[in-house]
Amino acid sequence: MSNSSCSSNQLFLQPLWDLSRTFVQSAFFPVIFAITTYVGFCLPFVVLDALYPWVPALRRYKIHPDFSPSAGQLLPCLKLTFYQHVMFVFPVTLLHRVCSPDNLPLDAPGLPELVCHVVICLLLFDAEFFAWHLLHHKVPWLYRTFHKVHHQNSLSFALATQYLSAWELFSLGFFDMVNVTLLGCHPLTVLVFHVVNIWLSVEDHSGYDFPWSTHRLVPFGWYGGVVHHDLHHSHFTCNFSPYFTHWDKLLGTLR
Ligand SMILES: [Zn+2]
Ligand SMILES: [Zn+2]
């Protein structure tokens, strides 16, 4: 282990991993972690949407300044999220736990390894979902049967992120897990990747373009983010990558 990763571990990653290890062992951890992270990331945007009519300053950050989701839009999203996590995510993660019990390492990963694996997993996830997404728009039966439900909200908001068919949720979960497994990522890296992935997907649907939004922090227009994905929701025929722009540039679908 290099000196830099050793010191970063001693300062931050090792205590974090020591703390996480006790929770990670629980069979309920994956589903509780997935749902609390998702709802926790959505909550600030739900509050902003509720405050929006009384805080005119928020208007300049709204992609659609005259849109605010109603309770009739928010509640079905929340209900579907809880239903799918209980009915699908929990049994699948439980089965995975029973079939391949983890021997959790004692040592945390080094910081460079963690960052490198998270970036590779994001790039792979982006490519896999780009292919899935393009296919589900190009084949009408696939669109109608599996992806149309996500496009029910043409103006998106945070809680619409996981308004998905069970097949789309399963596919996203599969892409999320397959890369970390193939790369042999440390369990702490897997957790960090899940958190980053959930945050980026919620930000994509939030409807807010802040000065600190990810697409403003990544240089050279490499990252599409919220503005990019919002155009996908309103136009259907462009911007199929969830995060980065290179696949849409290559296939001529970037708008
Ligand atoms: Zn789509
Ligand atoms: Zn979307």
Q: Which ligand does the CA of 146 lie closest to? A: 1
Work out how many domains the chain is built from and give that number: 1
Does residue 138 lie within any of the structural domains?
yes
- pTM, to two decimals: 0.92
How wide is the angle at C-alpha 197 spanned by C-alphas 102 and 189, nearest 5°? 35
Rounded to the nearest angstrom, the distance between the alpha carbon of 111 and the centre of ligand 1 is 35
Q: How confident is the model at residue 25 (pLDDT cuts 50, 70, 90)?
A: confident
**How far does residue 240's CA lie from ligand 2's centre (Å)?**
9
93 within domain boundaries:
yes
pLDDT in tens, 180-221: 999 999 999 999 999 999 999 999 999 999 999 999 999 999
Instruction: Look at residue 9 and tell me whether its pLDDT is greater than 50.
Output: yes
Helix ranges, the chain (H): 3-8, 14-24, 29-51, 71-84, 90-99, 111-138, 140-142, 166-183, 187-205, 214-217, 225-235, 246-250
pLDDT digits (tens, 9 = 90+) for 101-124: 667 888 999 999 999 999 999 999
Q: How far is the CA of 132 from the centre of ligand 1 (A)?
A: 10
Ligand 1 centre and the CA of 230: distance in Å? 10
Give yes or no for residue 130 having a pLDDT over 70.
yes
Distance 137 CA to ligand 2 centre (A): 12
- What pLDDT score does 44 carry? 96
Cα(89) to ligand 2 centroid in Å equals 20
Rounded distance from Cα 232 to ligand 1 centre (Å)? 7
Rg (CA), the chain: 19
Exposure on the CB side of residue 14, measured as CA atoms within 13 A? 9
| Distance from Cα 152 to the centre of ligand 2, integer Å | 10
Q: 229 CA to middle of ligand 2, Å?
A: 6
Q: With bands split at pLDDT 50, 70 and 90, how would you rate the model's confidence at 1?
A: very low
User: Which ligand is closest to the CA of 200, given by its number?
Assistant: 2
- Ligand 1 center–CA 253 separation, angstroms: 12
Q: Nearest ligand to the C-alpha of residue 238?
A: 1
Residue from 213, 241, 244, 240 nearest 226 by CA: 213
Q: Is residue 225 part of a domain?
A: yes
* 141 CA from centroid of ligand 1 (Å): 14
| Separation of CA 15 and ligand 1 centre (Å) | 40
Segment 30-89, tens digit of pLDDT: 999 999 999 999 999 999 999 888 888 888 999 998 888 999 999 999 999 999 999 998
Q: What is the pLDDT of residue 36?
A: 96
Average pLDDT over the chain, rounded to an integer = 91
Please check whether residue 255 lies inside any domain of the structure.
no
Instruction: Name which residue leads in pLDDT, 98 or 79.
Output: 79
Q: pLDDT by residue (tens digit) across 138-190?
A: 999 999 999 999 999 888 999 999 999 999 999 999 999 899 999 999 999 99
How many angstroms does the Cα of residue 254 sit away from the middle of ligand 2? Answer: 15
Number of Cβ atoms within 10 Å of the Cβ of 6: 13
- 185 closest CA partner among 251, 115, 136: 115
103 burial (CB, 10 Å; 0-12 / 13-18 / 19+) is exposed
* CA of 162, nearest ligand number: 2
Ligand with an atom nearest the CA of residue 206: 2
Residues 6+ apart with CB under 8 A from 132: 171, 175
Q: Which domain holds residue 171?
A: 3-98+107-250
Let me know: does 87 contact 158? Beta carbons within 8 Å: no
CA 83 to ligand 2 centroid distance, Å: 19
